[in-house]
Amino acid sequence: MLAGRSSPSQRAAETGTTGSGGDHTLEIDEAAEAIVFAELDRLHARGHRFSAISEERGEVDFGDPEVLVVIDPIDGSLNAKRGLAHHALSVAVAEGTTMADVAFGYVHDFGTAEEWWATRGGGAHLNGARLNRSVGERHGPDGRIEVVGIESADPRWLAGCVAALVDRAYRLRALGAIAPSLCQVAAGRFDALVSLRGCRAVDAAAAQLIVREAGGLVSFPAFSEPLAAPLDLVPHSPVVAARAAATLAELEAICLSR
Ligand SMILES: [Mg+2]
């Protein structure tokens, strides 16, 4: 679908409606979601029962509220619209109502043609190869954390936390898509990630399991339990990920104080 709509005008065309997640819907968002739901329809016809929650359509009943499929048809729509690299399909399957209940996570980054997936207790994989759980945090020449990813990088929100980052981060990177950014932490390409605003479950549900199954740490710090963020369409909490517990705690404090 994306390959067939490669021109800037095709990528930027809007449907004129607003999705359940609150953003203006692009035609590519709607078309990507239609492809995913055609597959869900096929699974349902074969006897599988579940519920779906997706960025544009919201909640859709496929016969079982206990199994929840959480979908962002395109995470990083602004990147996809503008021809920038990172934009991804994100699909999570959960056996409950919070991030802690996600049992399967799948992220396909169309910019890098990388396929990330994890099963709870079964490890995380990139393009079929198991990710190393023991990748540690790296530091720049002055001891600060070498590469920290930033999401929801509106300069007004960055302004509120940049002083705290000065002391901790050697370099910042902003990819512009939460799921691919979390996956960079899973592979140890980013040492940590912080979103400056509340992210939605559809953005983070799959990738947060991929990070954890790759030996990383994830927290949704608006909640007292780190993985208590509900699987719905409301942006409840920022997301923080790291390879080391001390860094996770420091970044939680930064995004809560902002
Ligand atoms: Mg999206």
| Rounded percentage of the chain residues whose pLDDT exceeds 90 | 88
Average of per-residue pLDDT across 40-56: 97
- pLDDT at residue 208, rounded to an integer: 98
Distance 73 CA to ligand 1 centre (A): 6
Mean pLDDT of 147-176: 92
CB 152 within 8 A of CB 199: yes
Chain-wide mean pLDDT for the chain?
A: 95
What is the H or E stretch that residue 174 is in? none
CA–centroid distance, residue 163 to ligand 1 (Å) = 31
Phi-psi region of 127 (alpha: psi -120 to 50; beta: other; left: phi over 0): left
pLDDT score, position 18: 86
Residues with CB under 5 A from ligand 1 (ion): 55, 72, 74, 77
Instruction: Give the predicted TM-score (pTM) of the model.
Output: 0.96
3-state secondary structure of 113: coil
Cα of 214 vs centre of ligand 1, distance in Å, is 24
Q: What's the 72 CA to ligand 1 centre distance in angstroms? A: 5
Q: 140 alpha carbon to ligand 1 midpoint, in Å?
A: 33
Using CA atoms, how far residue 118 sits from 2, 10, 50, 123, 133, in Å, is 25, 33, 19, 6, 12
Output the CA 239–ligand 1 centroid distance in Å.
16
103 CA to centre of ligand 1 in angstroms: 21
User: Is residue 188 pLDDT above 70, yes or no?
Assistant: yes
Q: Which residue segments constitute the domains of the chain, with CATH numbers given?
A: 8-130 (3.30.540.10), 145-257 (3.40.190.80)
State mean pLDDT over 142-146: 95
CA of 251 to the centre of ligand 1 (A): 25
